[in-house]
Amino acid sequence: MDSLIRMKELTTLLNEASRAYYAQDREIMSNYEYDKLYDELVELEKNTGTTLAGSPTMKVGYEAVEELPKEAHETPMLSLDKTKDREELVEWLKGKEGLLSWKLDGLTIVLTYEQGGLIKAVTRGNGEVGEVVTNNARVFTNLPLIIPFKGKLVIRGEAVITYEDFHKINATIEEAEAKYKNPRNLCSGSVRQLNNEITAERRVRFFAFSLVNAQENKEEKAFGNSREEELKFLRKQGFEVVEYRRVTPENIIGAVGDFEKKAVGYNIPSDGLVLTFEDIAYGRALGRTSKFPRDSIAFKWADELKETRLVEIEWSPSRTGLINPVAIFEPVELEGTTVSRASVHNISILKGLKLGVGDKITVYKANMIIPQIAENLTGSDTLSIPSCCPACGGKTEIRESNAVQSLYCLNPECSAKKIKAFTLFVSRDAMNIDGLSEATLEKFIAKGFLHDFTDIFYLKNHKEEIEEMEGFGEKSCSNLLQSIEKARETTLPRLIYAMGIANIGLANAKMICKEFDYDLEAMMSADMEALSQIDGIGEVIAGTFCTFFSEGKNRHQVEKLVKELNILKESVEEGSQTLKGMTFAITGGLTHFENRNALKERIEALGGKVAGSVSSKTTALINNDAASNSSKNKKAREAGVDILTEEEFMEKYLTIREEEGYESDNIE
């Protein structure tokens, strides 16, 4: 193939993959495949001496989206040249000392402080222009808002979500297709939210890795031309800095090995290491290329590849009708664990791999965590895409959106759709009905007890049959029916969330309900323009909301449900917003409220906010163990924030609401 033709193909492929990954938080190819194609393009450009317009080797990062304000960086943020060769790192140092640190896999942020306070946070964006996310940065869990240094300070670092928090967040999402693919995508979406309440709930952390500017710094000479001293200075200011090792050409290979051993169980997402010259002046004197600085280089792990055999493709239906392909292969050991499954994500990737049962494939763990198929060594391309849904036997079709093909079940009565939809409907943040697990719902649907959501409120008509079912009895059946009756009293945001509208979480449902003064008819009749103007909603969410209520059957289902429910009126009158402008944090167990969610809803109903962390702007921390030395208690004491028990909070902040005639279900 002509080199220029191949270069054009690679440019188109890689740019589309970058746009999907960075701007839309979705993946159309694996990291392994991207790196392989990128390296091929670099080699072609080197051999031909030609670089085409639009080549990803001439670009940095992603384009800033329209929803957030844009701002140009004072100095360009370049990406790093990279290598997978450890010996190359030895040569690169040229006998000098360096700092070797984690290359964190999140979203790069530039922070500016003046007079000791945070005044600006901007994402990396395209390297020249980023998005202003200052309000969101203020709720990062470990970011100091006030620092001792009073001059102008500009630093760079990475916003990340730990694997532990990533798994906790995914555990709260019922439907498989709605779960986040990796911490990097979740972090990117969290940092770029229009509503920083959502950012706070996601527990984003910040790790500083570079000091850009420290004007009027009397300690500047104390840095001694040392990168390490700069990081020590940032640590003194209260920042967490990226973990690093001081290295020389003699010990760098051993240091890389130490990082490699730690990488497997490391809680913070990382996709390699960064090596920077310890001597600041020397590094700066080296200058830069059009794309890379010469004072730093990235080291990417050589993925551990294992050859195995594809046994089958498992097709997994979901609530929305999306059928996800999952590769099942002969078990192999990767990065210390046995793996035998890997998501293939969608039909486009499936076709690109040219899979067939029995094919020899190579597999790896992306960032040493997530199993992926690297290559198909056989390429038989004999795999057939099912024309019938594996759950119900109904017809399927391939749909294309944003150049990505996916498989869907067309049967509106598909059992998999029903089970997943009912599972969401009864979940804690929706109707909150105890006793209806996915397995129980599956049995009830099979017996014909449940056809639509309204049928749940008539399960009492099948009481005798339920009592005779395996796993049930008179007591458990009675508990279930009581839970159902209790669920009749709910709120409009919970009902909207329970309907399972694509992209609509409980937080988004609350925003929409509040905007329309909790008028259900007005919400169902709203057009895209009105919805997309709501802060934090946007065109995608507005589109799925409008599409849902444009279908008569969905509107009819909601109208039927409303007749069965007692929807609590949520006052939006100014006089009832007694906590407006106040922000609370909650930790520890509760006694008067059913759980933290119940207390959070009470605070929000009164116009207040609940944050996931404590800062100087927090009105009070609610903790029944006010004397404990928990991290939140320590932060509250340091920031001068009141620590109140439940009773103290209720006495100080809920008295007015109760005098107005509002009653609490859990307060006697």
SS3 of 449, please?
A: coil
Tokens 């307060």 identify what position? 667
Q: Could you confirm whether 103 is annotated as catalytic?
A: yes
Beta bridge partners of 397: 408
Among candidate residues 131, 60, 137, 109, the one with its CA nearest the CA of residue 212:
109
Ramachandran quadrant class, 203 (left: phi over 0; alpha: psi -120 to 50; beta: rest):
left
The gap from C-alpha 151 to its chain's centroid, in whole angstroms, comes to 34
Tokens 């600006």 identify what position? 120
Structure tokens at 623: 């903790």
> How far apart are alpha carbons 617 and 373 in whole angstroms?
47
Structure tokens at 141: 């869990």
Angle subtended at Cα 463 by Cα 459 and Cα 465, rounded to the nearest 5 degrees: 110
Q: Which residues contact 517 (CB under 8 A, 6 or more apart)?
A: 572
> How far apart are alpha carbons 187 and 198 in whole angstroms?
11
Query: Do strands 620-622 and 583-586 pair parallel, antiparallel, or not at all (unpaired)?
Result: parallel
Among candidate residues 376, 379, 372, the one with its CA nearest the CA of residue 303:
372
User: Which one-letter DSSP state was computed for residue 279?
Assistant: B
Amino acid at 353: L
Structure tokens at 339: 């793996």
Quick count: other Cβ atoms within 10 Å of Cβ 644? Answer: 21
The gap from C-alpha 409 to its chain's centroid, in whole angstroms, comes to 27
Element (H or E) spanning 474, and its range? helix 474-487
Element (H or E) spanning 424, and its range? helix 415-425
Tokens 């986040």 identify what position? 180
| Active-site annotation holder among 59, 70, 103, 560 | 103
Among candidate residues 487, 390, 381, 395, the one with its CA nearest the CA of residue 433:
487
Sign of CA dihedral 523, 524, 526, 531: positive
CA 327 vs CA 168, 300, 308, 336, 374: distances in Å? 25, 26, 12, 20, 12
Answer for the pair 10, 48: CB distance below 8 angstroms, yes or no: no
Answer for the pair 121, 109: CB distance below 8 angstroms, yes or no: yes
Tokens 């097709």 identify what position? 315
User: Which one-letter DSSP state was computed for residue 666?
Assistant: S
Chain length of the chain: 668
Structure tokens at 311: 């046994």
User: Which one-letter DSSP state was computed for residue 212?
Assistant: E
Answer for the pair 302, 36: CB distance below 8 angstroms, yes or no: no
φ/ψ of residue 482, rounded to 5: -65, -40
Query: Do strands 583-586 and 609-611 pair parallel, antiparallel, or not at all (unpaired)?
Result: parallel
Beta bridge partners of 83: 299
> How far apart are alpha carbons 628 and 634 in whole angstroms?
9
Among candidate residues 72, 210, 196, the one with its CA nearest the CA of residue 134:
196
SS3 of 585, please?
A: strand
Q: Which active-site residues does the annotation give?
A: 103
